[in-house]
Amino acid sequence: MSGTASTSYRERNSTADRALDILLMFTDTHLVVSGTAVAERLGVARSTAYRYLQSLVSSRFLEEAPGGGFRLGLRVMEIARLARRSYGLSEVALPAMTTLAEDVRETVLLTRRTGELVVCVDRAEAGTGAVRISYERGSTLPLNAGAAALVLLAWIPDEEARRLLESADLRRFTPATLTDVDTLMQRLAHIRRAGYSVTRGELDADVMGVAAPVRDEQQQVVAAVSIAALASRVFPEAEAELAGKVQETAREISQRLTAVGG
């Protein structure tokens, strides 16, 4: 590479870095920036700052605000729309799910409800030591058994939950499985108050589950994130700690989902 080409390359990088610095000045509390503020941020003369700003305006990353200064432009909105389209629920959730799985050394599931069925959307494994469960991606689970299923029912209107339970085939998988609709409705109310669900041996005799709701930008529950662990190695005293970690993961996924407009 010649000296001229090398210099040109460095200048392009410098310009790109400064353009990014300007775009990163925008926050929830700073929706409009001034040329003076940009000059101070970049440590350049106002005339130089305005050259950068005008370049961003011409490429539609910025536009002049009605009251003065500059605001984000249409090109940023277009890119945000494309970014939202590139993310599905799994892509949003998996980083947080993987972190949780590695932390608790258990399998973590992401589930959604489709009518009378609960569908396993994705899973994250902890590697060695995790419960080897049969809930593969795309597999369906019943409404009345398992922590995730109960979470997905708990935040829909009571009349809808009751209708779903009364019309579903409520199978008994273990002696602990709940099949009485009134008892299940009481359980759902308890889950709403607690903010999470814990089940022991209700779907699989040796497995306990801890689940929390994932919410979209309208604060509607759209999914559940849950831990599946061997019941024998999780003492009741540890349930609250696990529930806190699952709730934190659910909040993180919800925040990411809101950020991408899911």
Per-residue model confidence as pLDDT tens digits over 165-215 = 999 889 999 999 999 999 999 999 999 999 999 999 898 888 899 999 999
For domain 87-259, the CATH class is: alpha beta
SS3 per residue for the chain: CCHHHHHHHHHHHHHHHHHHHHHCCCECCECCECHHHHHHHHCCCHHHHHHHHHHHHHCCCEEECCCCCEEECHHHHHHHHHHHHHCCHHHHHHHHHHHHHHHHCCEEEEEEEECCEEEEEEEECCCCCCCCCCCCCCCEECCCCCHHHHHHHHCCCHHHHHHHHHHCCCCCCCCCCCCCHHHHHHHHHHHHHHCCEEEECCCCCCEEEEEEEEECCCCCEEEEEEEEEEHHHCCHHHHHHHHHHHHHHHHHHHHHHHHCCC
Give the span between the Cα atoms of 231 and 40, in whole angstroms. Answer: 59
For domain 3-84, the CATH class is: mainly alpha
CA 182 to mean position of chain CA atoms: 32
Closest by CA position to 258, among listed 94, 84, 113: 84
Q: pLDDT for 25-78, tens place per residue?
A: 998 889 999 999 999 999 999 999 999 999 999 999 999 999 999 999 999 988
Q: pLDDT for 52-67, tens place per residue?
A: 999 999 999 999 999 9
Q: Return the bridge partners of 64, or none.
A: 70
pLDDT of residue 235: 79
Residues above pLDDT 90, as percent of the chain? 58
Give the span between the Cα atoms of 222 and 119, in whole angstroms. Answer: 12
Q: Name the residue ranges covered by the structural domains of the chain.
A: 3-84, 87-259
